[in-house]
Structure 1
Amino acid sequence: MAIGLSTYAYFWRLSDRVPEPMGLDAMLENTAELGGKVFQICDYPKIETLSVDGLEQLRQRAESLGVVLELGTRGLKAEHLERYLQLAQALNAKILRSMFNGPDSRPTLAEAQQQLAHILPAFERSEVALCIETYEQVPTASNLAVVKHFNSPWLGICLDPANCVAALETPKEVIASTAPYVLNLHVKDFAFSRRDGWVGFTFAGCPLGEGLLDYDAMIAEVKPQARGINQIIEHWLPWQEDAASTCALEDAWTRHNLEFLLSRQS
């Protein structure tokens, strides 16, 4: 089991809303500098534009820094997953996180199973785990139905209990139902705050240990250390007043959250 960062921990710093967006090399080196052992390149379409040489250079750089690479995309179309499996192999990434729906697809349960039936054997042969993330657009029961249908050690759940709150699934319920099938863990804390005038709520991220995520209970259920499940830090950080303050706070959250997780391992 290792602890690391996702591109979602750099959500604003890699975006075009800042004067000098971070690239993959900078994010990778920052992950290593802060003590992270995993870097998950998640929902980052630019990875598809790298040449064979570019992918190899990225793989070698990660190896030299002692950082394991993981990959993430969206959708279950067989041809799309095949492309990302090739990218994962080039990067020596053993985890590919995806989501039920893609930019151009919203499969039924039967359609999802049909697509996975085509591509899952290739993941099994390559020994790359495909992890379907929990989130509000698809009931957790549907994600689990697909995973249970194939009963493969190379198909499981990427657990992110915060995502499911918008579908009125409680984190406790999502953790309990998915725990035996989790192969990858996204860690972010979250909280509700009253809007101005007490009209409704904002549901957003916060530093680990300050919100509603019962981290210790989640770890007790999932048992990542015993099962070799990596913990990947993400953020739901709202934009602040300007780019400088937003980037500074994102960096502060990243450092805090890494220290929080690493302190739990000692």
Structure 2
Amino acid sequence: MAYGISTYAYFWRHSTLAPEPMTLTAMLRDTAELGGRVFQICDYAPVETYDRARLADLRATADDLGLTLELGTRGIRPGHLLTYLDMARELGVTLVRSMLNTADHRPDTAEAVALLKEAVPRYADAGVTLGLETYEQVATDDLVSVVRAVGSPRLGIVLDPGNSVARLERPADVVAATAPYVVNIHVKDFAFTRRDGWVGFTYAGCPLGQGLLDHAGMVAAVRPGERGINQIVEHWLPWQDGGFDATARLEHQWTQHSINTLLRSE
């Protein structure tokens, strides 16, 4: 088990709102400087354009920094998953995160099982694990049923209990339902705050340990140390009134706080 950081912890700093968007290499270096040992390239579309030479350079940079790489994408069409499997081989990746739905494809459980039964054996042959993330578009019980129906030790669940709150699923219930199948954990805290005039709530991220995430309870249920499951820092940081500089500064502070908190918990 190791602690790491995702591209989602650099969401604003590599966005088009940044005067000079942070490069993937800069994110890798920052992760190593902060004490992370894993970097998850998650929903980072530019990596799909990298040729073999550029992927080799990326892997070499990670190796030099002592980082293990993971990949993340969306969708379960076999062709797309096999594209990511090819990238995983080039990068030395053994964990790929995905999600059942994309903007143009929302398979039901039966279709999802059929598609995954086509792709997952190739992952297994390559020694790569595919993890499907918990999130509000898919009921947790349905996600678990898909994983169980495929029945491969190389298919599991990426646990992010905060995502499923929008489906009115309690984080503790999501953790309990998925714990036996978890292969990766996204660590991000979250909280509700009242809107002005007490008209509704805002549901957003907050610094780790200051919100509703029961991290200790999640670790006790999943046992990542015993099972070799990496914990990856992410954020839901809202854009700040002070503009990009204020947002980027706070994003860095949250990332540093999260990884330090995890390291102290060892």
Aligned residue for 1:253, secondary structure, equals helix
Aligned residue for 2:164, secondary structure, equals helix
How many Å separate the matches in 2 of 1:88 and 1:206? 32
Is residue 2:141 matched to residue 1:167?
no
**CA offset digits 1:153-212 (Å, max 9, x no partner):** 100000000000000000000000100000000000000000000000000000011000
**CA offset digits 1:34-73 (Å, max 9, x no partner):** 1100000000010011111000010011011000000000
Residue pairs, 1:1-266, within 5 angstroms:
1-241=1-241, 242-265=243-266
TM-score (norm 1): 0.99
Aligned residue for 1:104, secondary structure, equals coil
How many Å separate the matches in 1 of 2:28 and 2:39? 7
Which consecutive residues of structure 1, in runs of 5 or more, have no partner in the other structure?
none
Preserved contact between residue 96 and residue 130 of structure 1 (Cα < 8 Å): yes
**CA offset digits 1:136-168 (Å, max 9, x no partner):** 000011110111012211000000000000000
Amino acid in the other structure paired with 1:254: T
How many Å separate the matches in 1 of 2:240 and 2:129? 36
How many Å separate the matches in 1 of 2:240 and 2:38? 28
Aligned residue for 1:193, secondary structure, equals strand
How many Å separate the matches in 1 of 2:226 and 2:115? 32
Q: Report deviation, 1:82.
A: 0.6
Aligned-residue identity in percent: 57
Preserved contact between residue 74 and residue 103 of structure 1 (Cα < 8 Å): no
Aligned residue for 1:240, secondary structure, equals coil
How many Å separate the matches in 1 of 2:256 and 2:123? 34
How many Å separate the matches in 1 of 2:196 and 2:115? 46
How many Å separate the matches in 1 of 2:111 and 2:149? 13
Amino acid in the other structure paired with 1:259: N
Moved over 3 A (4+): none
**CA offset digits 1:77-126 (Å, max 9, x no partner):** 11110101111111111000000102321111111111111111100000
How many Å separate the matches in 2 of 1:235 and 1:69? 19
Q: Report deviation, 1:251.
A: 0.2
How many Å separate the matches in 2 of 1:188 and 1:211? 9
> How well do the aligned residues superpose, as a CA RMSD in angstroms?
0.6
Aligned residue for 1:246, secondary structure, equals helix
Preserved contact between residue 75 and residue 98 of structure 1 (Cα < 8 Å): yes
Amino acid in the other structure paired with 1:251: H
